[in-house]
Amino acid sequence: MNKSIMKDVCASKFCQGFSLHNIDKGNKNVKMECDNEESIKADESDYTQSILRKSLFGNVEVNVKEEIEVKEEPINIKSGEINIAKEIAKYDEAISYICERDLVKYELTHPNEKSYQCSFCDKTFSQNCLLINHQTVHSGEKPYECSQCDKTFRLKNSLIIHQRVHTGEKPYQCSQCDKDFTHSGNLKSHLRTHTGEKPYQCSQCNKAFSQSSNLISHHRTHTGEKPYQCSQCDKAFSHKQGLIQHKMTHTGEKPYQCSQCDKAFSHKHLLIKHQRTHTGDKSYQCSKCDKTFSQNSTLISHLRTHTGEKPYQCSQCNKAYSQSSNLISHHRKHTGEKPYQCSQCNKAFSHKHELIQHQRTHTGEKPYQCRQCNKAFAQNSTLINHQRTHIGDKP
C-alpha cells in the first residue's frame, strides 16, 4: 500500500551542508549538518516529516511542501539523522527541483548576500555551486551525456528529462483531458488552455500570452529581430518554425501527405486546408453576409471587406492593405524581388500567379473557355477580351 509522505524541506545549506540532490545515495543514514539549531518533528501516524531549518536564512523560515508517493516503509528519524536514501534515489528529480526552486527563492529574499562573482560577466551569486553552474554558460561545457544518442547537457536535470524521449515516459498527466507530458513545466503551460490564463503580457501593445516563449516571439514583431537565418539563401525569420518550413523550399521535402488523394505538402497547415476540399467543411460563417469559410483566418480577412480595415501598411509609400499577403507582394515593387522562377526557362516573377500563367506557354494549357464558341485561352484576361467580340463591346 502507498502512503503520502509530506516533506517540508527548507534547503538553506544547498551546496555546503544539506543538499538533497547531491547526497551520496549509498549512505543509508544521511547526516544533516547545520551551524544553527534545527527543529525536527515526526508524526508516524500519517507519515509526516517536517524539517524546519535556520541557517543562511537567519530568522527566515522557508517551508516548501512537496507530496511524494512512496511505499509504506518505516522512516527512522533521529536527532540530526534521517533515513531517506531510498526515497532520494527514487525521487531524485523531484527533490532536485525543490532544492533548485528554493535557491531561486533564497536569491530573491537575500538580494544583498551575493559574494561569488563571475569573472566573465560580473554576475554575482550567493552560493559557489550556483557560480560554477552559471560558468558553464560561458565555457559551453555540457558534462551530462545521454548514453543512447550522445546528446549532452549542462544540467543533470535536463538529461533526466531528455531521457524520457527514449523511454516514452510521461509522468505528468492533465486532470482535465488526460493528456500527459514529459515535463512538469509543459503540463503547467498546457493547463492554461483549460483555464484561459495568459500571464505574459507585452509591454508595448498589451497583448497577453499563455507561454513566455510566445511572448518572446511576439516581441520580435515590434523589434523586427529575425535571429533564424537560412544558410542557403540568407533569408531570415523571427521564429524557428518559420526557418524549418522555409528550408523545405530548398529540399523539396513534402512530409505531409493526404490520405485520400496522395497529394503531399511541405506544411501541416496546408494539408489541413487541403483536406477540407474533400470534406467540404466550411464551419466559419460571416455574421454580415452569411458567407462561409473553411479557415478562421480567411473569415477574418473577409470581414475587412465589410469594415474597410487595412491594418497592413507599407513603410515606404504608406499604401495599406487588408491582408498581409498583399503587403508582401506590394513590397516586391520596391525591392525588385522575384522569388518565383520558371524551371524550364529560368524566367523569374514577383507573384506566383504570374509564374503559373507563364508556365502555360510551355505546357500549352488553356483552362479558360468561351461558352459561346468554345475557344480556349491561357489567361482569364484574354478570355474576357474575347467575349466582348460576341456582344460587340470594344475595350
332-351, pLDDT tens digit by residue?
Answer: 999 999 988 998 998 999 88
Residue 117's pLDDT is what? 87
Enumerate the H helices of 128-267 as residue ranges.
Answer: 128-139, 156-162, 164-167, 184-195, 212-223, 240-251
**What is the DSSP secondary-structure string of 76-121?**
-EETTEE--HHHHHHTHHHHHHHHHHHHHHHHHH-TT---EE-TTT
Confidence of residue 308 (pLDDT cuts 50, 70, 90): very high
Q: Per the domain annotation, does 304 fall within a domain?
A: no
Residue 2 clears pLDDT 80, i.e. is over it: no
Asked which of 8-12, 206-210, 248-252 is least confident by mean pLDDT, the reply is: 8-12
Higher-scoring residue by pLDDT: 70, 358: 358
Residue 114's pLDDT is what? 61
Residue 303's pLDDT is what? 92
Beta bridge partners of 352: none
Q: Per the domain annotation, does 364 fall within a domain?
A: no
Confidence of residue 96 (pLDDT cuts 50, 70, 90): very low
Residue 252's pLDDT is what? 83
Q: How many domains does the chain have?
A: 2
Residue 195 CA to residue 210 CA, distance in Å, equals 10
Whether 8 and 109 map to the same domain: the answer is yes
Give per-residue pLDDT as tens, 6-24: 333 333 333 333 333 333 3
Beta bridge partners of 368: 377
Residue 24's pLDDT is what? 39
Long-range contacts of 124-133 (CB under 8 A, 24+ apart): 126/56, 127/14, 127/15, 127/16, 127/103, 128/15, 129/14, 129/15, 129/19, 130/15, 130/103
Q: Per the domain annotation, does 328 fall within a domain?
A: no
Whether 109 and 205 map to the same domain: the answer is no
Give per-residue pLDDT as tens, 31-49: 333 333 333 333 333 333 3
Give the mean pLDDT of 50-60: 32
Q: Per the domain annotation, does 263 fall within a domain?
A: yes
Residue 289 CA to residue 305 CA, distance in Å, equals 11
Give the mean pLDDT of 272-283: 84
Q: Which of 97, 113, 129 is the last residue of a domain?
A: 113
Whether 107 and 204 map to the same domain: the answer is no
Confidence of residue 358 (pLDDT cuts 50, 70, 90): very high
Residue 262's pLDDT is what? 82
Residue 286 CA to residue 299 CA, distance in Å, equals 7
Q: What letter represents residue 36's amino acid? A: N
Name the average pLDDT for the chain.
73
Confidence of residue 307 (pLDDT cuts 50, 70, 90): very high
Confidence of residue 106 (pLDDT cuts 50, 70, 90): low
Does residue 182 contact residue 167 with C-beta atoms inside 8 Å? no
Q: What percent of the chain has pLDDT over 70?
A: 70
Number of DSSP helices (H) and strands (E) in the chain, helices first: 13, 27
Q: What angle do CA 36, 41, 45 make, to 5 degrees?
A: 165
Give the mean pLDDT of 91-96: 43
Q: What angle do CA 365, 367, 373 make, to 5 degrees?
A: 115
Asked which of 206-210, 298-302, 335-339, 388-392 is least confident by mean pLDDT, the reply is: 388-392
Residue 69 clears pLDDT 90, i.e. is over it: no
Alpha-carbon Rg for the chain in angstroms: 32
Q: Per the domain annotation, does 96 fall within a domain?
A: yes
Give per-residue pLDDT as tens, 158-205: 898 899 889 989 999 999 998 999 888 889 989 998 999 999 999 988
- Cell reading at 167: 523511454
Q: How far is CA 270 from the centre of its chain?
A: 20
At 278, which helix (H) or strand (E)?
Answer: helix 268-279
Q: Which of 279, 314, 335 is the last residue of a domain?
A: 279
Instruction: Give the CATH number for residue 246.
Output: 3.30.160.60
Give the mean pLDDT of 230-243: 88
Helix (H, G, I), strand (E, B) or coil at 271: helix
Q: Which residues contact 79 (CB under 8 A, 6 or more apart)?
A: 40
Residue 275's pLDDT is what? 86
Give the mean pLDDT of 206-230: 88
Residue 294's pLDDT is what? 81
Q: Per the domain annotation, does 332 fall within a domain?
A: no
Residue 328 clears pLDDT 50, i.e. is over it: yes
Asked which of 142-151, 167-176, 351-360, 384-393 is least confident by mean pLDDT, the reply is: 384-393
At 144, which helix (H) or strand (E)?
Answer: strand 144-145
CB atoms within 10 A of CB 148: 11
Please name which of 106, 81, 103 lies closest in space to residue 23, comparing C-alpha atoms: 81
Residue 182 CA to residue 165 CA, distance in Å, equals 8
Give the mean pLDDT of 55-61: 34
Residue 107's pLDDT is what? 53
Residue 52 clears pLDDT 60, i.e. is over it: no
Q: Per the domain annotation, does 340 fall within a domain?
A: no
At 42, which helix (H) or strand (E)?
Answer: strand 39-43
Q: Which of 279, 300, 323 is the last residue of a domain?
A: 279
| Backbone φ/ψ region at 321: left (φ over 0), alpha (ψ -120 to 50), beta | beta
Give the mean pLDDT of 281-300: 87
**Residue numbers of the domain that contains 101:** 2-113
Q: How far is CA 370 from the centre of its chain?
A: 52
Q: Per the domain annotation, does 180 fall within a domain?
A: no
Long-range contacts of 91-98 (CB under 8 A, 24+ apart): 92/21, 92/160, 93/157, 93/160, 93/161, 94/66, 94/68, 95/9, 95/20, 95/21, 95/66, 96/20, 96/21, 96/156, 96/157, 97/157, 97/184, 98/9, 98/11, 98/20, 98/64, 98/66
Give the mean pLDDT of 26-35: 37
